[in-house]
Structure 1
Amino acid sequence: MFGARPLDAPVDALGAEDAHLSRRRNVLASIPGLGTVTAHALLADMPEPGGMEDGQAAAPAGLAPITRRSGTWRGRSFVQGGRAAVRQALYMPTIVAMRFNTDLKRVYDRLIAKGKHAEVAITAIMRKLVVLANALFHKDRLWTQKAA
């Protein structure tokens, strides 16, 4: 029913030619919930991770919370700007990651228990995935499950 997409073979071939790109794809694909298609999309649309501080990693994706303020008035936080393609590429893998990554599932459940809306919690998990990818690139290592 589902066959290979027309761009999968050329993208895989390009990744196989470049050891650095192949390593970055493997680092992303090691995170539960993220597959090679998402890894390719993130590498194409957001090549900066690994060279940024943790707090900066989510801003290019438009996943950093921004608080509206004026004088003493303070509004609600929201996300804006950034690269919509990155957010779109991360949405469904985030839903999958919340099911199979116990750390992310715990964060999601905690946010829901605090009364956060589901979309706000999902956006927070998307942000955590970008920050996690940045940290893994920075340390040049694969994702590993935390020991209990």
Structure 2
Amino acid sequence: MPGIGVGTEARILLEVGDGTAFATPGHLAAYAGLAPVTRRSGSSIRGEHPPKGGNKQLKRALFLAAFAALADPTSRAYYDRKRAEGKEHNAALICLARRRVDVLFAMLRTKTTYQPRPAAA
């Protein structure tokens, strides 16, 4: 995947393994601390906020990989779209990292390498 070097790849594989421990990409994102958390108490719901927990080393590796992937046109377009929606820089990077978790999960599940999408004609 664009933005993932040898060291980052090793860290991700060390923390995730072969991915069989996670049923869905959402479970992997929650484990990494990239999925939003809803704060509830009784009948009041206070909205979603970034999690404080999760695997800090995995979250850092995915965040840095998302930052490095801004050189990739597809990743940059997604980041720019999130910025246009009003998200701050770090929030847009977290969104990009979360999206890349979906791709990573699919790669681990199917045991394939990264294949970029062909450009729309």
Q: Which deviations, in whole Å up to 9, do the C-alpha atoms of 1:85-141 show, x marking residues without a partner?
A: 1112223221111222x3222221111001011111111111222221111111111
The RMSD of aligned alpha carbons is: 1.7
Number of aligned residues: 117
Report whether the alignment pairs 1:44 with 2:14: yes
TM-score calculated relative to the size of structure 2: 0.84
Alignment equivalent of 1:126, drawn from 97, 101, 117: 97
Paired position in structure 1 for 2:2: 32
Amino acid in the other structure paired with 1:49: G
| Preserved CA contact (<8 Å) 2:33 2:53 | yes
Moved over 6 A (4+): none
Unaligned ranges ≥5, structure 2: none
Q: Secondary structure at the match of 2:113?
A: coil
Unaligned ranges ≥5, structure 1: 1-30
TM-score calculated relative to the size of structure 1: 0.71
| Preserved CA contact (<8 Å) 1:61 1:86 | yes
| Preserved CA contact (<8 Å) 2:39 2:48 | yes
If you compute each CA radius of gyration, which structure gives the higher value, 1 or 2?
1
Cα distance in 1, alignment partners of residues 51 and 75 from structure 2: 20
Which has the higher mean CA deviation after the structures are superposed, 119-128 or 50-59? 50-59
Q: Which deviations, in whole Å up to 9, do the C-alpha atoms of 1:46-104 show, x marking residues without a partner?
A: 2252553122120111111112233244334222311101112223221111222x322
Which has the higher mean CA deviation after the structures are superposed, 89-98 or 135-144? 89-98
